[in-house]
């Protein structure tokens, strides 16, 4: 409660003012100069330094007072008041504080780190060198012409390795 009172006193000192929103305003207020003067006189009876902003497309008027006392008195007395055939709806305009406004999300540092490589299936860590043997490479180099078949890799049953034969047709 004390913080709210401090905020109000700082608003009065800074000249920000206190604003009312008047809804359901008759169209005559926007069109006729004399009706507009009568309308302003209603609100100036509560504070002589009232300022007005007219928004005809929404049938709305914003009234700015320098002191909260004038703003509260005008709201209390003129809410529901019938003027030029329409019942005025007067309410306080509450401006959002800086903490209530939308802000960009905070930046956060996301580092994309690759997962570690999978361990080898035999459980031995470390590289064993080239995958293709020198014998295999030599056998491929000796390949000749068409119609012949070549054994690239002899299979062995003990080591569970297949035999590789290349046939050229």
Q: Measured between alpha carbons, how far is 135 from 161 in angstroms, rounded to an integer?
A: 15
Question: In the chain, which residues fall in CATH 3.30.70.330?
Answer: 2-92
Superfamily of domain 2-92: RRM (RNA recognition motif) domain (3.30.70.330)
Question: What pLDDT is attached to residue 20?
Answer: 92
Distance from chain centroid for Cα 139: 64
To the question of pTM greater than 0.75 for the whole model, the response is: no
If you average pLDDT over each of 63-72, 96-105, 117-126, 157-166, which comes out highest?
63-72
Q: Measured between alpha carbons, how far is 162 from 156 in angstroms, rounded to an integer?
A: 7
Q: For the segment 54-113, what is each residue's pLDDT rounded down to a tens digit?
A: 999 999 999 999 998 999 999 999 999 998 888 999 999 887 777 777 888 888 777 667
Distance from chain centroid for Cα 64: 32
């Amino acid at each position: 409660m004390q913080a709210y009172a401090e905020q109000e006193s700082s608003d009065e000192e800074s000249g920000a003012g206190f604003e009312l929103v008047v809804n359901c305003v008759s169209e005559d207020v926007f069109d006729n100069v004399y009706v507009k003067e009568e309308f302003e006189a209603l609100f100036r009876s509560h504070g002589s330094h009232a300022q007005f902003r007219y928004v005809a497309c929404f049938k709305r008027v914003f009234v700015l007072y320098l002191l909260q006392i004038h703003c509260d008195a005008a709201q209390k007395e003129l809410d529901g008041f019938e003027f030029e055939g329409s019942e005025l709806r007067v309410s306080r305009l509450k401006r959002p504080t800086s903490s209530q406004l939308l802000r960009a999300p905070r930046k956060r540092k996301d580092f994309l780190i690759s997962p570690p490589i999978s361990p080898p299936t035999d459980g031995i860590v470390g590289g064993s060198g080239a995958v293709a043997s020198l014998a295999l490479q030599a056998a491929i180099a000796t390949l000749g012409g068409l119609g012949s078949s070549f054994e690239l890799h002899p299979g062995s049953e003990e080591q569970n390795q297949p035999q590789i034969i290349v046939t050229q047709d």
